[in-house]
Structure 1
Amino acid sequence: MTIASHLAELRKKHETLSDMVEKAQRSPATDDLQIAEMKKQKLKLKEEINRLSAAH
Structure 2
Amino acid sequence: MSDARDLSMKTDDVLQVELEVFKQEHRDLDEAIHALVERGKNDQLTIQRLKKQKLRLKDIIARIEDRLTPDIIA
Q: Above 0.5 in TM-score?
A: yes
In the TM superposition, structure 1's runs of 4+ consecutive aligned residues that sit over 4 Å from their partners are none
Q: Which residue of 1 aligns with 2:15?
A: 3
- Within 5 A, what are the aligned runs for 1:1-56? 2-56=14-68
Aligned-pair CA distance for 1:27: 2.3
Counterpart CA distance in 2 for 1:23 and 1:15 is 12
| Percent pairwise identity | 27
Aligned-pair CA distance for 1:30: 3.6
Counterpart CA distance in 1 for 2:41 and 2:33 is 13
**What runs of 5+ residues in structure 2 fail to find an aligned partner?**
1-12, 69-74
Work out the number of aligned pairs and report it. 56
Counterpart CA distance in 2 for 1:23 and 1:38 is 12
Moved more, 36-45 or 25-34: 25-34
**What runs of 5+ residues in structure 1 fail to find an aligned partner?**
none
Greater helix proportion: 1
CA RMSD of aligned residues (A): 1.2
Paired amino acid for 2:49: E
Looking at CA atoms only, which structure, 1 or 2, has the larger radius of gyration? 2
